[in-house]
Amino acid sequence: MLLVVPTPIGNLCDITLRGLEALKSADLIAAEDTRHSGILLKHYEIKKPLISYHEHNEAMRTAQLIERLAQGETIALITDAGTPGLSDPGTRLIKECITRDLPFTILPGPSSILVALTGSGFDTDKFYFRGFLPVKSGQRERELRLAESRSELTIFFESPYRLLKTLAACAEIFPDRRICVARELTKKFEEFRRGSAAELLAYYTARRPKGEIVLIISERVGKAAR
């Protein structure tokens, strides 16, 4: 069976008891970055064979893992943080399990999307998750203009190295829209910063952002941008 195991997004204590049992029971652990995942496994004294499974070898590894699953092995799939398949490798392997009628199970667990959404303070009845904003400025602007037109919250992942450019674009496209920058979630320097794009741009220009960032843009409807 394939076990899809969410891993902590920062604080190592956030892994579930079921997640630990899944990792301990696996014959093999497929990890996005074996060195990064090794920290988690060492912390919980879990010693299992590790194999890399990331965007650059996903096609080849999927074929290998499917054959091992077909032979009756139990494989745990993990990524660097959060749930595999959500802007991380995993979807291809799950689809192949479905095609080959091989058993798999998805464990619940940590997700930066839900942590950021809940902590934003915005109305959360409806939201649209878009993943990472494009690197190229033209494509990024198109995505932000789509967010401006939506009647639900839009959630993006963003790099700290591009946050200032993104906030500057937001200030031009929707200067009155409320935005939340959720940074370093569950870690020591966790931060939720809310305001207009201009306010956030001024703040982070003076204090260069670090760490992983979830960006939430309020919907077009005025009542949610309070």
- Do 101 and 154 lie in one domain? The reply is no
- Do 75 and 133 lie in one domain? The reply is no
Answer with the one of 83, 106, 129 that is the final residue of a domain. 106
- Do 74 and 154 lie in one domain? The reply is no
- Do 101 and 142 lie in one domain? The reply is no
Number of domains the chain is built from: 2
% of the chain surpassing 70 pLDDT: 97
- Do 142 and 218 lie in one domain? The reply is yes
Specify the pLDDT at position 158: 97
CA distances from 122 to 96, 118, 182 (A): 37, 8, 12
- Do 48 and 151 lie in one domain? The reply is no
Q: What is the mean pLDDT of the chain?
A: 94
- pTM for this one? 0.89
When comparing pLDDT for 81 and 224, which is higher?
A: 81
- Do 168 and 149 lie in one domain? The reply is yes
Query: The domain that contains 180 carries what CATH number?
Result: 3.30.950.10
Q: Which domain holds residue 52?
A: 2-106
Specify the pLDDT at position 220: 81
- Do 42 and 99 lie in one domain? The reply is yes
- Do 9 and 87 lie in one domain? The reply is yes
Whether residue 224 has pLDDT greater than 50: no
- Do 58 and 161 lie in one domain? The reply is no
Which uninterrupted H or E stretch holds 145? Answer: helix 137-149
Whether residue 77 has pLDDT greater than 50: yes
Give residue-wise pLDDT tens across range 163-214.
Answer: 999 999 999 999 999 999 999 999 999 999 999 999 999 999 999 999 999 9
Q: Which token pair is 25?
A: 């029971």
- Do 65 and 158 lie in one domain? The reply is no
Q: Read off the pLDDT of each residue in 144-149 and give the average, rounded to a whole number.
A: 95
